[in-house]
Amino acid sequence: MTKKFYAKVDEATCKGCGICVHICETKGGKNLKNGLKRTLLGGTLPEGADKCTGCRWCERYCPDFAIKVEEVTPVA
Ligand code: SF4
Ligand code: SF4
């Protein structure tokens, strides 16, 4: 079975700098986009599109450790 992943953004610590969105695109991912919601600091909250490959580049590059990539556990 193919593994599925989900990039979870902590809305309380994400400042909305867009680095994760940029790095996701740069590394060939098609998951993170700029969302419609604003962060507490007035940045743009990133949004996942259910196309996360689990490469974890976004997690490595986030300066605030505000994004975590988790494996989705299939519902039995
Ligand atoms: S890199 Fe981190 S702080 Fe910046 S938008 Fe992404 S999750 Fe938020
Ligand atoms: S793990 Fe990879 S594909 Fe998933 S959101 Fe992060 S950079 Fe994009």
pLDDT at position 73:
84
* Residues 43-61: tens digit of each pLDDT: 999 999 999 999 999 999 9
- Tokens representing 41 are 């600091």
Please say whether the beta carbons of 7 and 73 come within 8 A.
Answer: no
Domain coordinates of the chain in residue numbers? 5-71
Q: Is the CB of 17 under 6 A from ligand 1?
A: yes
* Residues 6-55: tens digit of each pLDDT: 999 999 999 999 999 999 999 999 999 999 999 999 999 999 999 999 99
Distance 54 CA to ligand 1 centre (A): 16
Catalogue the E-assigned strands of the chain.
5-9, 33-38, 44-47, 67-71
Question: Which of 9, 14, 27, 67 gets mutated to test ligand 2 (max ligand atoms within 8 A of its CB)?
Answer: 27
What is the distance between the alpha carbons of residues 63 and 65, in angstroms, rounded to a whole number? 6
Q: What is the pTM of this model?
A: 0.93
pLDDT at position 75:
76
Sign of the torsion formed by the C-alpha atoms of 54, 26, 50 and 36: positive
pLDDT at position 49:
93
What is the distance between the alpha carbons of residues 61 and 20, in angstroms, rounded to a whole number? 7
Domain 5-71 sits in CATH at 3.30.70.20
